[in-house]
Structures are given as structure tokens and as C-alpha cells.
Amino acid sequence: MDHEGSPPFRAVQPGFRWDGVAYMPYKQDGSAPFKDISRQVLFHEHDLNCELRYFEMDAGGYSTLERHEHAHAVMILRGSGQCLVGDEVRPVKPFDLVSIPSLAWHQFRATAGEPLGFLCMVNVLRDKPQLPSEEELAALKERPAIARFLEG
């Protein structure tokens, strides 16, 4: 990541891309389960101690089921899907706001036939995501709505 800061203006391009912003497949190290998701870091601001990223899942794609100490502040920007936060699953649509507190399990899933894109704000300095153990996954699936959500 460069530390020179971004130029004052960067124009949007067709297809939810932006000038000067690298388009990256999510978590290229392959250490976590996810499907058809990309990441673009729109802002990496040391002065603000935050990053603003744009994530997008293809139709039927999903993010990693994970939790971590750091929080997320999310605004849905495109498409339609469902989101798990803690023990609650809700449908999401453009301009909905989602707050993911510290250590809450969370996952996003795009609706079949539609992509899902969202802005996600995080601290620049943050801990690594944790994946659920077998026991934690079983506990999550005790709630029928979460079991249905995880089965896609």
C-alpha cells in the first residue's frame, strides 16, 4: 500500500471500478472459504486511521464466514443479498446500512441471479479474521434461519 496518499479526484468507471484503484480477487492466499468475490481499496487513509473498501460478489457468491476484534461499517451499494450478523440474518438492498460489532460472526451472500456490492469501512490496523470451529459452526446452525442461510 502506498503512503503518498490518493490524488484529490479519481473518477468512477463503468462496472463499479475506479481510476487508480486495483481490482483484486478476495484473499488471494486461499486460506478462507469464499466464492466469487472481489475487493477494491478505495481509500487507505492513515490520517483517518481507516480504509474504505468496495466488495462485490457475483450472483450466488459469498464472503467468508468470520469474526474478528475489529468492527465493520457497511453500506450496500449494488444488487441484493442476505447478511448474517451475530445471530441475525436479514435481506439487504442498496443503501441499507449494516453495523458489524467486534467479534460478531458475519457473512454476506449474493442472491442467485444478482450481484451484491457494498462499501466497508475498517481500521487501518486490525486483527486477522477468525474462522468458526466445528463446535462454533454447529452452535450457529442451531438457529434454523442461520442454517438455511449457510446452506445458501
Bridge pairing between strands 72-79 and 50-62: unpaired
Please give the distance of CA 118 from its chain centroid, rounded to a whole number.
7
Location of C-alpha cell 469464499: 34
> Is 50 a residue of the active site?
no
Specify the amino acid at residue 10.
R
Q: What's the sign of the alpha-carbon dihedral 16, 21, 24, 26?
A: negative
- CA of 80: how far to CAs of 15, 59, 112, 114, 118, in Å? 16, 9, 9, 6, 10
Return the C-alpha cell found at 44.
487507505
Return the C-alpha cell found at 61.
457468491
Q: Which of 84, 100, 110, 120 is catalytic?
A: 120
Just list the catalytic residues: 120
